[in-house]
Structure formats: structure tokens, C-alpha cells
Chain A
Amino acid sequence: MSVEQTATMAPRVYGVAAEFQSPAELLEAVRKLRQRGYQRLDALTPFPVHGLDEALGLRRSPLGWAALAAGLTGASGALLLQWWTGAVAYPLVVGGKPYFAWQPSVPVTFELAVLLASFAAVLGMLALNGLPRFYHPASNHKRYPRVSDDGFLLIVENDGPAFDAARAAEALRAVGGQHVEVLED
């Protein structure tokens, strides 16, 4: 067997994970690991931990822009629909009212803006998070089920050929991580 073949057959290392007992311990560990130069970190937590985004260096979610764009699409689509059906395709005199006016068009315009913006927020969230996804290497960690209960997992992710799983595991232990495990893809 050649060297390349063994390299492709060996399972790819996704990263190294360790468990922490509280949000405070987790935050402390993230700060220390980043000082040591580990930049590709992720944490699995049972609830959104305050201050974790900043500690991990994550930027603000761009989801608001998606919702804004969808909302504007909904609003202009609704206006177009009401104008075209009422004034162009099917003009009908009802109580002597104009075929199209903005005042009676407000409710439907508003509702469709909200509808589309809400879909954009939820579907956008799923898309940005790559969900649904029914397998993830992190689920191989034996303490993974506790993440949705009261456990906090910190993952040092494999960020390229220079990544050394043994050193990452050592670093996680040094900052107080327990149950350190190498996660394979």
C-alpha cells in the first residue's frame, strides 16, 4: 500500500473536543486557547452563552439584511399584486371607489412584508447554519448528549495540515477541559 492510499483511508480528524462544567469555565478556556493561537474554535452549549460570540471572535449575524430584503420584496410584491389585479387585470367598480389607492392597500402590503421577512429569518437561519444536517462529527463525543442538557463542549477544529491533534488535546487539558476526545469525520 502506498503512502497516499493510507492517508486517504485514515479517517479525517475533524477536531478535538473537551467538556467544561460551566459557562464561565468555557469562556475562560476559549480566551486562553485563542491567546495560544487556536483560532478555529467552536463551542456546543445548551443555551446561548452571553459573551461567547465575542470570545470566539464571531461577527454579528447578517440575518437582518436577509429579512429586510425579503420584507421589501413582500411589500412591493403585494402593492404590485393589488394594483395589477384591481386596476389592470380586473377593474371593477365597488362603491365608487378608485381601482387602486394606497390607503386600502396598506394591510395586505404589511402582512405580506411580515410573512416574507419571517420566512427569510427562519429559513435564512437554517441555511447559514447548514441545517438540517443529521450527522456531525461532534456527535461522536461520548459526552455529546449532555450538550443539550447541562454540558459545555469546546472543540478545537482541524484548521489545516499544520493541525496537531495531540497538541490540541494537551492544550484543552491545560485549560481545564475534561473528557478530551479526538473527533473523526
Chain B
Amino acid sequence: MCGIAGLFSKSSTFEGTLGTHLSSMLVELADRGPDSAGVAIYRDPAPSGSCKVSLFSPDPDYPWIDLAVGLAKAFGDVGEHTVIASHALLVVEGDPAEIEAWLADCHPELRVMSVGQSIEIYKEAGDPRRFVERFSLAGVSATHALGHTRMATESRVTTEHSHPFSSGLDLCLVHNGSLSNHNRLRAFLRREGIRFQTDNDSEVAAGYLTWRLSQGADLEQALQGCLTDLDGFYTFAVGTADGFAVLRDPIACKPAVMSENDDWVAMASEYRAIATLPGADDARVWEPEPGRVYVWQRERVA
């Protein structure tokens, strides 16, 4: 199974309560995925020339302050770091690719969850209800966010195997379904220079998007490519700096519902997650068509 959720704010008032509503959606989807939970949150863009880095350490006493000092020495300015449960968020002045390379080289004990201007990824093995409390999701204000509750089928239950999977700067993917050709595709993508942290099938879908985008495709083209290059069942939600996209495989074995009103756009595996949102009773509700890419994007501010 697995549950996925996407929430996009259309009003600044709703932004302030987005975390509360995303929490309710995840709790409602906990039955679909009791193994782990995760979110990608888009908020507070880093200043130009800097990027936000989300990191995970299994060590509850990890010396994040030492890491911040190390980063500041290697790069430019490092803002005050924020520790949230097993994760830390740092804003670092420097080139994202160089920062990632430095982290892989100097701190192989850490997992980079996401890098970008506004993305933050938090995820953890365990019950989704506990996750929303541990990561204080209810207090979060954000422009948009994705969430996932996992029922593992293809690979182990660990924090690393949890969703969302980052698929490039400010990009991430959550997946409900299972892919059949992930081993061969992973081998191909590795030869193309894409790095993988796990043997998870969904991470391959994220890596595939990263690769297509690096080849010059836009997000819509990259998702269209999934229809021919991925074999298996999927409903994907993909988070971007400006919004999110949804794609179901042409057979559409995995569910998806979308809904929209003046304050928000939402997608979820089941309507009951959307039913928790304010005004859901009167919102437009529909089922996304199989094999069609849906994209929501906020207007870019110059």
C-alpha cells in the first residue's frame, strides 16, 4: 500500500496552518503505511548564494555544532543550525554540488536528505502518528509540502528507505506502488553518474527524474518519460520549488484523489485524508486520469 499526500497553499493565511493540516492528512493515511513516514516542506528560501541542507544522523547525540563549524571553514557563512529530532537543517553559503561532495567526503556517517533553496526533508522509520509529534509538524508554516506513509514491499524498513526521496535541488518524490525494472534501471543510472543511497525501487524513480532533468528535460517531460521507461505500478507526487506534480501509471492500480478550493490544492491516496481539510465538503474533488501529468505551480516572483 503506502499513503501519499500533497498540499499546496493558495493563500497566505493557509500557509500558516499548512503543517497542522499536513499532520492530519498523514495521521489519516497512517493505516496505509504504518512502517515509516516523511515529509518534504517548502518554506523560507535561503538567501541567494546559499542553500538549505537537510541531514540525518542515527546518533541522537550527534555533534551538529562541530559540523556547522567545519562547513563554515570549508565554505562561507553558515547560519544557525536547527536540530529537529534525528535531523538537522543548515543554511550554507556556497555551491550546492560542492557542499554535497564535501559532506560525502568528510562526513560519510551522515545522510543528505535534501539540498535546495527552500526544500527541507524529514523522514523516519516508525509510526506516522509518532512522526508528526516528534518532528512538531503541526507548528510548521509552508507554501507547499508532500507527505508519505510507507508500507514496505520492495526493500527494508529504515529511515534511509523512507520517502520522500530527493531527486535534485529542491526536487523530491513520493511513491505509492512498486517498480519491476528498478534493478536494471539503477545499474543504467549509476553508469550515468546518478548516486543511490539504498536498494529501494522508489529511489530509482527519483534518480530517473534527476537524470532526465540533467539531460535538459523539463519536469513535465521527465514525468512523461516515466510512462515509457518505468515498469510497474505507481502514483507519484513530485515536489518542486514552486509547486508539485502528480502522475499515475496508465493502468492506474494505485489510487489518487485531488481536490481544490480558493485556499488550497490537495492530493492524497484516499479522500478521507482530504476530508480533514477546512472547506473540503464544498471543494472540487476529482480522480486524476491515468497517464496524465498534473502540475501546480505558484507564480514565480521576479
Are A and B co-members of a single complex?
no
